[in-house]
A and B are shown apart, each in its own frame.
Chain A
């Protein structure tokens, strides 16, 4: 018995979406209460500023995450998340987060980096009618649909703390892990990050920063 826990990662090529997907699936592989892991990612445009999407899906033992449905281990094989069924959405870019509204519903926690990456055709005069939507509009829609939305300029935070914006994705991962403590064991996640980036990687500090970022008292 168990339930499926769905994570969606979205952003722009070069932000480390594929890497985060790998970290999350590797975590799922090692966490004893997760019985099966699948996932997928869009490919081909990651070098070229395109929209990128990755998924990680866990089949979780009902002991910690009980719901009414019974799944057999071998049945969790679809790598795609059905409509409305994401539990955690990590949006590394606002436009790409709202583009994947399909998966966001009242069961979803959205953690969004508000740092915007403008598509070429918005800057050029190519698409006069299609503007980059305002941050206010994006957050308003997410607030309406999602259970909870946490939005922050993670690039700014990463630059302030670590001098480089590239750590923004792992800080965001830390926030997500804290939000779903029942699924993410902090120490195991740190071990996985260590295995990906090395003993003394700043990514460990970045994860810890994200983990303690939000005050839950």
Chain B
């Protein structure tokens, strides 16, 4: 769906949208005044849609905040001023925002406030799979979790109402699978947005010190207790799946299922496959859980067994066990199963749920299990032998020449001086230096942990062990500045390479504090919200870094870069090398837009000559993915063997190559001059001249 349509009134219309689009739509319908985010998969797109929407709107503000803590705190501010706000980021962001998260709920909220947080149980694009529902045990913040794309939209609206009713923030739990799912959604009524809020002073409530905090804490706990007991809220967010046949036959009712979120769809699908129809309680409000209502569910269906289907930690299972065993609210014992079978790691699938359920139901579908087991046996034989596709830098990427030159410099220095280099990584595209052909990465933990961990290690390792730290511009502003200041303060020995590509690229080229305003104007019309750019170089100059230890360079001159590395790496103290070069993908998009307005343009092609001797420099050291192999046909017979060099040749995939950005790195590294550059000048769709260049 195009973004403009997503923010039209069109109440009652049915549309096919993704979970992330549904969240953005929900925020629009609910009349939210302010939203803030630090981009992160799986929720990056929600912010992108809202950012476009916020353009030219007086009554809606969106902020790509410098990090998640700032994003959350901004939203608290808006809520305290009486207006609705939503903060969104990935699960790991909640750790960064955890400090205010544990205290501001004592004061509560005024305008409704949601914390929309995307989990990643399969670790598809993160560094861990932490189950953020467990934060509820610390913070007591209520959690709601949508199960369908329709609910992604509806729960934003209902969640804000719940938040305003109890004056507490609400946490919206979602996982990557639902964010990236598509489904049919009926659009709802759009609320108007109030533009101006007003903060009413109340030190007893907002100044959380000593006695005040103690009394606020007690009020807050009481509020959550009341919410837990609210029957109406239980039935607003939670649904009991009542199969038509249950009422009549009552066949399998000694076993019931509790589940939530996307897992509900796996449970339904598994039940269909197994021809069973147990009562299913689908939780939408998963914290606090109304224990009485869970007891009623178990008692109504006369359950003897309760199966809990959830991803990661046994959160619902633990609460259920408390309800039935320790507190004895149910006045009887109940067998509860869940994590005794379902794995605590990875994403759930229908197949796992089928295997779990079949243990507890009298079903005649053993053939299904046989089929699954037979297939899994076949998969076990075939899949491990298949080569995987490692992610790598995009074609034309400005990081590739940096790692190429760094590797050359490091090899020379190691041989000459006996140095051993240690590579500290961080979160960003440069993390891909772990894969072939560079393999220069020794750790990745979390945002800012590259310089952070180096701060300690550099002080104790042997003199010949040299630390090189990689960090990007957006990560530096996020949580990299503090460890950098710490390093400079102590003049701790390390070389920090800052990849300044002007965008938060890995999540889709969002703006950040240092994005130059000149890049945001005109051609990419959507980016106009930022008022000032933070000049990173001036910042570095002014935090005490010695002038000789601050080196600035572009990315594409590899000889120059290698010289910089050879000079800088052996020096003592904290050195910073800033690579100023815009993200190639984003730059290409900008230039393409500009070119459309010009009549004449130049097209450049790189080709590998047939006489190439396959020295492998371009493919094995530079590693540009636009260079690939194709099998050479000999007559009619086609060889299938890609392992023999004589049966294939190298070629440059023209649709992947980025000659408008990349100055021909492959040509530059080719020792035998086997890569040819061709320039074709086109003028008003007419070939006027063409020129070859060796």
Contacts and interface: CB of A to CB of B under 8 A. Distances in A.
Interface string A110-153: 00000011111111111100111111100001000100000000
A55 to B, nearest CB: 9
Contacts of B183: 37-38, 77, 79
A71 B394 contact: no
Contacts of A83: 349-351, 371-372, 375-376
B423 to A, nearest CB: 18
Contacts of A125: 620
B12 interface: no
Contacts of A190: none
B16 A37 contact: yes
A111 to B, nearest CB: 20
Interface string B617-644: 0011001010011010000000011110
B388 interface: yes
B358 to A, nearest CB: 14
A82 B16 contact: no
B391 A99 contact: no
Given A44-B125, A78-B265, A124-B437, A39 B389 contact: no
Interface string A36-56: 111111111101111100000
A80 interface: yes
A45 B388 CA distance: 13
Most buried by B among A14, A39, A47, A98: A47
B436 A77 contact: no
A20 to B, nearest CB: 13
B643 A78 contact: no
B389 A119 contact: yes
A27 to B, nearest CB: 10
A101 interface: yes
A39 B391 contact: no
Interface stretch (B251-259, B377-385, B406-414, B560-568): B377-385
A34 to B, nearest CB: 10
Nearest to B16: A29
Contact of A119 (B269, B385, B390): B390
Nearest to A82: B350
B625 A133 contact: no
A87 to B, nearest CB: 15
A12 interface: yes
B268 A77 contact: yes
A102 interface: yes
Interface of B: 16, 41-42, 124-125, 147-149, 177-178, 180-184, 262, 264-266, 268-269, 272-273, 349-351, 354, 371-372, 375-376, 378-379, 382-383, 385-394, 432, 435-437, 585, 616, 619-620, 623, 625, 628-629, 631, 640-643, 655-656
Category for how many chain A residues contact B: 35 or more
Contact of B371 (A84, A95, A132): A84
B627 to A, nearest CB: 9
B125 A38 contact: no
Nearest to A22: B182
Contact of A48 (B148, B180, B386, B391): B391
11 contacts: A37-B16, A48-B391, A49-B391, A50-B389, A50-B391, A71-B272, A78-B269, A79-B182, A83-B371, A119-B387, A120-B436
A120 B643 contact: no
B351 A78 contact: no
Contact of B392 (A43, A120, A136): A120
A166 interface: yes
A117 B628 contact: yes
B269 A121 contact: no
A141 B382 contact: yes
Nearest to A44: B125
A25 interface: yes
Given A47-B394, A77-B147, A102-B375, A124 B620 contact: yes
A99 B383 contact: yes
Given A43-B41, A84-B372, A134-B641, 20 more contacts: A40-B180, A42-B124, A44-B41, A44-B124, A49-B389, A49-B625, A50-B390, A77-B148, A77-B268, A82-B349, A82-B350, A83-B349, A99-B383, A101-B379, A118-B629, A121-B436, A123-B628, A126-B436, A130-B385, A130-B387
Most buried by B among A21, A26, A77, A119: A77
**What are the 5 tightest A-B residue pairs by CB atom distance, in nearest-first order?**
A78-B265, A79-B181, A134-B640, A77-B265, A130-B387
A145 B381 CA distance: 14
A215 B496 CA distance: 63
Contacts of A45: 389, 391
A77 B264 contact: yes
Nearest to A129: B385
Contacts, number: 166
A75 interface: yes
Most buried by B among A41, A45, A119: A119
Given A43-B41, A49-B392, A133-B385, A82 B273 contact: yes
A170 to B, nearest CB: 15
A141 B375 CA distance: 12
A134 B616 CA distance: 23
B389 A12 contact: yes
Contacts of B641: 134
A203 interface: no
A50 B391 CA distance: 6
A99 B436 CA distance: 21
A187 interface: no
B349 A80 contact: yes
A105 interface: yes
A21 B268 CA distance: 24
B388 A136 contact: no
Most buried by A among B262, B387, B391, B628: B387
Contact of A136 (B354, B437, B640): B640
Contacts of B371: 83-84, 105
Nearest to B42: A43
Contacts of B182: 21, 25, 37-40, 79
A169 to B, nearest CB: 13
Nearest to A14: B656
Contacts of A80: 177, 266, 349-350
A201 B262 CA distance: 38
Contacts of A127: 387
A160 interface: no
A47 B585 contact: yes
Contact of B375 (A47, A79, A105, A126): A105
A105 B180 CA distance: 26
Interface in A66-87: 69, 71, 75, 77-80, 82-84
A41 B629 contact: no
A59 to B, nearest CB: 10
Nearest to A81: B350
Contacts of A21: 182
Contacts of B436: 120-121, 124, 126
Contacts of A134: 640-641
B351 A48 contact: no
A201 B642 CA distance: 36
Contacts of B375: 83-84, 102, 105
A84 B373 CA distance: 11
Contact of B386 (A36, A130, A165): A130
A125 B354 CA distance: 41
